[in-house]
Amino acid sequence: MHAELTAATDDELAVLRRALLRHARATVGDAGLAEDLVQDCLIVVVQKQDTRCGEATLTTWAKAVLRHKIADWYRSPDHRRLRQLDGEEDLVDEAGDALFTAGGSYAHPVSRWEQPEGRMERRQMMDTLELCIDHLPERSGRLFLMREWLGFETPEICHTLGISADNCRTILHRARMSLRACMTTHWGKAS
């Protein structure tokens, strides 16, 4: 897009900032810290936007900068000042339990998802996923984003957040199963 190849306007920056804040808050779980990280990211974006790779859109590039800032922060000793996650949410998962029968089979047949046709529908499918991620419980959302966005391996997530490997696996699994259920409800079953 032509607008993205020229200097970002104030409006574009405001829209970008909101998008970045959404990801940052969900990934670090602290609004003040998310503001700081996004601020640092925007400084880089504004100062270096002329030198960035031409084909990357402003948003793509800014998200990549933010991803590195958050990953660096998690890997620095500073992250320890963040409140610990353990005990914050109950591990009981009623929705997950209702998915299966007592014998461990699916209580209802698993529906296929509607296959998106073309880029527009694929984009809509991603928007649905983004809303589903927003609705994950805080801890599940953070672990999912650390794994799928920051690209952390699970041992690093356990170590960084001070949770056991079993707990980490369980939370990630429940996050994925919740997202799967959310997508089935909101994206749509194939007819």
Interacting residues with another protein (CB under 8 A): 23, 44, 48, 51-53, 56, 59-61, 63-65, 67-68, 100, 103-106, 109-113, 122, 125-126, 129-130, 144, 147-149, 151, 153-154, 169, 172-173, 176-177, 179-180, 183-184
Nearer to another protein, 54 or 87 (CB): 54
Work out how close the CB of 171 gets to another protein at its nearest, in angstroms, rounded to a whole number. Answer: 10
Work out how close the CB of 37 gets to another protein at its nearest, in angstroms, rounded to a whole number. Answer: 14
- Nearest Cα neighbor of 185 from 117, 108, 94 is 108
Nearer to another protein, 18 or 81 (CB): 18
- Nearest Cα neighbor of 181 from 84, 119, 89, 95 is 95
- The DSSP-derived string for 9-75 is PHHHHHHHHHHHHHHHHHHHS-HHHHHHHHHHHHHHHHHHTTTS-TTS-HHHHHHHHHHHHHHHHHH
Instruction: Give the SS3 label for residue 89.
Output: coil
Nearer to another protein, 77 or 120 (CB): 120
Work out how close the CB of 22 gets to another protein at its nearest, in angstroms, rounded to a whole number. Answer: 12
CA–CA gap between residue 174 and residue 179 (Å, rounded)? 8
Nearer to another protein, 139 or 147 (CB): 147
Work out how close the CB of 52 gets to another protein at its nearest, in angstroms, rounded to a whole number. Answer: 5
Nearer to another protein, 4 or 148 (CB): 148
Q: Which two tokens stand for residue 6?
A: 């020229």
Work out how close the CB of 126 gets to another protein at its nearest, in angstroms, rounded to a whole number. Answer: 5
Sign of the torsion angle spanned by Cα atoms 54, 55, 60, 66: negative
